[in-house]
Copies of this chain bind each other. A is one copy, B any other.
Amino acid sequence: MADRGDRRDMSVIRAEALRKTFGGGAVVAVDDADFTVREGEFISLVGPSGCGKSTLLRMVAGLLDRSAGTLSIHGRDVTGPNPAVAMMFQKPTLLDWRTAIENVLLPSEIGGRVTDDDRRKAMGLLRLAGLEDFAFSFPSQLSGGMQQRVALARLLQTGADILLLDEPFGALDEFTREHLNVELMRIVGEVGATTLFVTHNIGEAIFLADRVFVMTPRPGRIAGIVEVPFERPRRPSLQQSAEFNALVSKVRATFETETTAGEDA
């Protein structure tokens, strides 16, 4: 690669001393977060419930104004939603009155007129998600996992190169989840998108990520960053390896020093 400018060019998301408070400063949701995400990187964000993961993501998506600090995407200050950034939520948030394909086409519709190219792309994404046969089913006719895959296809239909995923598979059973993780990794790899992925599940976080950001409970700080050295493509069996388990233990440790064991939020 040519040395165009300095390394900064490579960083897609940059946050410095990022801070978000609610209720006039009463609740500090995110405190003093510093991080950069490089182009094409896959970042997992883990932390206990209520530590500010969603808040952080929503700031990056431009859905929430920050209280202090700087936050830029592709070097430009974040002031509102940005077509280069797309977000996926824990719940599939599909529209009940649209078929799967129509749901996938929603971003194109919002962007302007829907062309046949958009339609072909949408169908292709559904195929990628293994849902070609269900393109004309309505959400209520799909299982939870299928719905999430539709939502994933919709996310990719936006054409955004930065993907934010907020516990997208939290509500699914482990098998479906594992399968979707593999799919996600493959698709994201193909598209070459930069990804921020929030999860509760440490194994999942490590399995998917290039780096894992561990957050502390209120006020949410980024307490540690764990590099994941495994080669890609990764196979599910990786999760039974000793190295993998060592890494899980390491993240867990970063975690448990911060969290009082076993208290639920």
Contacts and interface: CB of A to CB of B under 8 A. Distances in A.
B146 A174 contact: no
Contact of A173 (B145, B146, B200, B245): B200
Contacts of A245: 240, 245
A144 interface: yes
Nearest to A259: B175
Contact of A264 (B143, B182, B201, B259): B143
A255 B178 CA distance: 14
A183 B242 CA distance: 27
A261 interface: yes
Given A143-B265, A264-B145, A264-B146, A175 B249 contact: no
Interface string A167-194: 0001011111011101100000000000
Number of copies: 2
A103 B120 CA distance: 55
B179 A201 contact: no
Given A49-B143, A143-B49, A245-B245, A175 B262 contact: yes
A179 B260 CA distance: 11
Contact of A174 (B144, B201, B246): B201
A139 interface: no
A92 interface: no
Interface residues of A, number: 33
A265 B146 CA distance: 9
Interface in A238-265: 240, 242, 245-246, 248-249, 259, 261-262, 264-265
A262 B130 contact: yes
A202 interface: yes
A262 B202 CA distance: 21
Interface in A19-56: 48-49
A40 B163 CA distance: 49
Contacts of A145: 49, 264
A103 to B, nearest CB: 18
A157 to B, nearest CB: 21
A49 B170 CA distance: 15
13 contacts: A49-B143, A49-B145, A143-B264, A143-B265, A170-B173, A174-B200, A174-B201, A178-B262, A179-B261, A182-B262, A183-B262, A237-B249, A240-B245
